Amino acid sequence: MTPHEITQVQQSFAKVAPISEQAAALFYGRLFEIAPEVKPMFKGDIREQGKKLIGTLAVVVAGLTDLNSVLPAASRLAKHHVGYGVEAAHYACVGAALLWTLEQGLGDAWTPELTSAWSSAYATLSGYMIAEAYGVAA
């Protein structure tokens, strides 16, 4: 990722953070729509899961300027998710739901350039997580 892309991701996430509860609800609604097979993996309160999602995103977005600072936690998270039944193919669905959610939350501020920046950030992190969890490159 370029420094400009990192700045774009961080600035846009700051705009979504105030509506984090709604963003998380949009995300899970979209995820379950495009990948209904993952819904049974979520056994607890989806609002609590949404808080965890936004919290994790906040840490990752803040850590983009020093990616090595977030990679150990990303590795642990990826390996942990295998136990829930998460497969490498699910990462694409999560990415699609994330980008869709950001587009909904940011409205007119969602541009092709911002789409590219977020896609790059997600590809970097998800590729690393897939390699860590499954031992294969994305």
* pLDDT value at residue 119: 97
- Alpha-carbon dihedral sign for residues 48, 22, 54, 130: positive
Q: Which amino acid is at 60?
A: V
| More confident of the two residues 126 and 1 | 126
Give the Cα-Cα-Cα angle 90, 93, 95 (nearest 5 degrees): 110
Share of the chain above pLDDT 90, in %: 91
Largest CA distance in the chain: 39
Q: Look up the CATH number of the domain holding residue 105.
A: 1.10.490.10
Q: What is the mean pLDDT of residues 72-90?
A: 93
Rounded to the nearest 10°, the torsion over CA 42, 43, 48, 51 is -20
Q: For residue 138, what pLDDT band results from cuts at 50, 70 and 90?
A: low
> Quick one: average pLDDT of 61-87?
93
**Amino acid 34: pLDDT:** 97
User: Among 43-52, 86-95, 96-105, which stretch is predicted with the lowest mean pLDDT?
Assistant: 43-52
* Domain span including residue 53: 3-134
**pLDDT of res. 133:** 94
pLDDT of residue 137 exceeding 70: no
When pLDDT is cut at 50, 70 and 90, the band that residue 43 belongs to is confident
**Mean per-residue pLDDT of the chain:** 93
pLDDT beyond 80 at 136: no
Please count the other Cβ atoms lying within 10 Å of the Cβ belonging to residue 4.
Answer: 10
How many distinct structural domains can be found in the chain?
Answer: 1
Cα 46 → chain centroid: 16
